[in-house]
Amino acid sequence: MTTAKDLFIITMHPRPERSVGQGDLSLALAGAELIDLIDAGTVTVDDDRIVPGEPSAAEDRLLGEAAALLTRQPPHELIEDWLWRRGRDLSAAYQAALEEDGELTRKRSGRLPFGPERVEPADTPARRGAAERREAREPVLAALASAVGVEGDRPESAEDAEGEPGLGGEAVTAVVTAVHDAVMELEAVRQRRTIENSAFANLWRGP
């Protein structure tokens, strides 16, 4: 299993007081893909830009798609730009792929056969492997999970993300930091829209 698939699986069990936003998760999944590509030697990072190496076949279909989308001509793409481009609707793509592979299953909530459906991880070796990585607090997975609010509170700043131990080098640290920054930027956009919508509603209600 890839880091992205492990991340998706562990987000199926978020803390009750905080659900994982699909936009946040999509950004983190794009970051997880990039980290796996770095680990595989498919790309390197130079001054926050993604520099592809020689094309190689990835065993995982979605990771292969990510590699195929890399910008190979200079100036190479910034990590932040990659997260927003690759991350568009990426959580839905991972859900579909995991359901197709039998890693996710749909169940009805409640006792009635026509109750609302929910998706949850199936009892497979992949789910157990993801759970083991989470319980072991594997640094990269824990840092990405933290970005979407699964493992503890989100850091207050990008500097907090940089302090994550054992991330495995400057390139991976740069990706994790970019994920945290992107998630916080997305949250700021949400808050601004909420304020604007509230002000618009108050305007129509009048004094």
Q: How many CB atoms lie within 10 A of CB 131?
A: 15
> For residue 51, which phi and psi values (nearest 5 degrees)?
-110, 110
Report the alpha-carbon distance of residue 118 to residue 183 in Å, rounded.
25
Contact 164, 142 (CB under 8 A): yes
Q: Residue 108: its pLDDT value, please? A: 59
**Pure H helices in 40-137:** 61-68, 79-86, 90-100, 125-135
43-74 tens-digit pLDDT: 999 999 999 988 777 789 999 999 999 999 99
11-24 tens-digit pLDDT: 987 554 457 888 99
First to last CA, the chain: 57
Q: What is the mean pLDDT of the chain?
A: 83
Strands in the chain per DSSP E: 43-46, 49-52, 104-108, 117-121
